[in-house]
């Protein structure tokens, strides 16, 4: 039988025991994986093993998908009115709010997040999204279409059936809710595969889904390796849709698998290398604060990070002075420490990846303004790093680093910087800092990205869609647009008077 991981938290932020079932959650029950294999879960602050969780394989995924299909047909989908699905989502939101400290604590423990950031940002975002989509559950209606008096034509927005949700390790709980909430609101049954690096909050969510009263089989959680459990979910013939957040490389594999199997629908939210433009009229102090948050928050492990920074030549030196001082003031440490602002990178693999990019930047001739090395010997910390005077052809400028590394270049004109900004395979987010309203609108419209933020870094809202252009993926998370990703439109034609 599956075990339970219990951890005693004793910090000024949170004191108490948190228990997490470490099995798979399938058909409303906790179970071992068929193979009995497990995955070690690490604390990125010191590299120690926290616990082990069950590792799902293709057989486990098959069991979960078949249970979801049966639940969809017999006790969910269109058999449950929208207002009842909404009531369950509201109850789940209340339970998440009740247990927000416990969820934030395990999120900080295995993802390396700061507890306060996890609680006040990620968990609160999840609660807002649950309530937002609870309100949509009985409002996702079609249209009656005028044809003639002899015919009635209308559309229905129907759930797809079983959907596979694959979420990353950087925002495990928040991104899971981005997908789970609209999927359940529209009547789909869900099989959730959290990252093998950070599965604990998803397992806590499963317990709350059970407590909220969702029918068995409607929601399952199958922790496992991406190449095994994720691949099995992407290729399963009974899965009608996969929503994936992660790297562009893996996103291509998910899409390829879907195409080769049953042509299941795919939503992809992938990598980014977001252009961040600081014009000469910007409020430099505010711009620096937002950019520091955008690139050093969660140690830069964000697809929408403000990582590729273009600064007007008139304010370039002053910006670098302020940016450097702010980077050097960032305090790293344990996410339960009051004296820390940010935690570590999530894993040894991520640490090695980021350090390799930093070495590449040095070899390519970029100037290290601050940082540029590992921080300490324990855990997976990298110094907040700034490269200046970078060229467009450098790898650190073109490729997603996913760490606390910002690259800064100089520009002269708006036309020049827009060319530089759009010279990328990615198109997730973009940023501009200016006091000129006309320029703000003009630049926002010209940037080739799914989101444009003016005078801030990424401030996301449940009612506003998030998603990318180009190789940053397709489809939208959040907002009314996300409902389209989890429904299919049926056109109904009723002949009431046409005779042959």
Q: Which residues are catalytic?
A: 269, 303
The answer to whether the beta carbons of residues 192 and 176 sit under 8 Å apart is: yes
Query: What is the DSSP secondary-structure string of 231-289?
Result: HHHHH-TTEEEEEEES-HHHHHHHHHHHHHTT--EEEEE-----EEEE-TTS-HHHHHH
Tokens of 76: 């969910």
Cα–Cα distance, 198 to 194 (Å, whole number): 7
Neighbour-count burial for 96-107, b at 16+ CB within 10 Å, e otherwise: beebbbbbbbbb
Q: Work out whether the CA dihedral 463, 469, 475, 481 comes out positive or negative.
A: positive
- Beta-bridge partner residues of 432: 277, 454
Hey, is 304 helix, strand or coil?
coil
* Tokens 């395990």 -> residue: 106
Which of 199, 223, 201, 219 lies closest to 211, judged by CA? 219
Cα–Cα distance, 199 to 203 (Å, whole number): 6
Cα–Cα distance, 53 to 20 (Å, whole number): 10
Hey, is 5 helix, strand or coil?
strand
Tokens of 436: 């000129």
For 253, other C-beta atoms within 10 Å of its C-beta total 17
């Amino acid at each position: 039988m599956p075990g339970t991981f219990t951890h005693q938290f004793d910090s000024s932020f949170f004191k108490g025991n948190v228990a997490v079932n470490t099995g798979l959650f399938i058909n409303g029950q906790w179970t071992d994986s068929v193979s009995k294999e497990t995955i070690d879960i690490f604390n990125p602050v010191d590299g120690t093993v926290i616990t082990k969780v069950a590792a799902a394989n293709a057989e486990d995924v098959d069991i979960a998908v078949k249970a979801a299909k049966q639940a969809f047909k017999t006790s969910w989908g269109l058999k449950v009115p929208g207002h009842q699905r909404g009531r369950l989502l509201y109850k789940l939101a209340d339970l998440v709010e009740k247990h927000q400290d416990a969820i934030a604590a395990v999120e900080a423990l295995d993802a390396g997040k700061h507890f306060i950031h996890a609680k006040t940002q990620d968990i609160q975002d999840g609660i807002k999204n649950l309530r937002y989509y609870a309100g949509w559950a009985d409002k996702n209606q079609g249209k009656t279409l005028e044809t003639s008096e002899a015919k009635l034509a209308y559309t229905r927005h129907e759930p797809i059936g079983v959907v596979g949700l694959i979420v990353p390790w950087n925002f495990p709980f928040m991104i899971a809710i981005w997908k789970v909430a609209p999927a359940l609101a529209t009547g789909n049954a869900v099989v959730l595969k959290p990252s093998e690096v950070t599965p604990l909050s998803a397992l806590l969510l499963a317990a709350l889904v059970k407590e909220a009263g969702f029918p068995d089989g409607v929601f399952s959680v199958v922790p496992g390796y991406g190449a095994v459990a994720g691949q099995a979910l992407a290729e399963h013939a009974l899965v009608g849709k996969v929503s994936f957040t992660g790297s562009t490389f893996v996103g291509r594999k998910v899409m390829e698998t879907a195409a080769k199997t049953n042509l299941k629908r795919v939503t992809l939210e992938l990598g980014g290398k977001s252009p961040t433009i600081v014009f000469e009229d910007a409020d430099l102090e505010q711009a620096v604060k937002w950019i520091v948050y955008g690139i050093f928050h969660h140690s830069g492990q964000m697809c929408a990070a403000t990582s590729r920074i273009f600064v007007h030549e008139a304010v370039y030196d002053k910006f670098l002075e302020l940016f450097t001082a702010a980077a050097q003031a960032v305090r790293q440490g344990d996410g339960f420490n009051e004296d820390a602002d940010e935690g570590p990178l999530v894993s040894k693999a991520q640490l090695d990846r980021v350090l390799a990019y930093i070495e590449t930047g040095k070899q390519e001739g970029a100037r290290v303004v601050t940082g540029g090395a590992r921080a300490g010997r324990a855990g997976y910390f990298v110094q907040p790093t700034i490269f200046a005077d970078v060229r467009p052809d450098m790898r650190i400028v073109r490729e997603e680093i996913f760490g606390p590394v910002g690259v800064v270049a100089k520009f002269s004109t708006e036309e020049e910087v827009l060319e530089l900004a759009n010279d990328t395979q990615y198109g997730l987010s973009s940023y501009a800092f200016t006091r000129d309203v006309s320029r703000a609108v003009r630049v926002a419209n010209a940037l080739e990205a799914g989101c444009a933020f003016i005078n801030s870094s990424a401030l996301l809202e449940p009612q506003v869609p998030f998603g990318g252009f180009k190789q940053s993926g397709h489809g939208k998370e959040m907002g009314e647009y996300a409902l389209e990703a989890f429904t299919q439109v049926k056109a109904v034609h009723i002949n009431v008077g046409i005779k042959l």
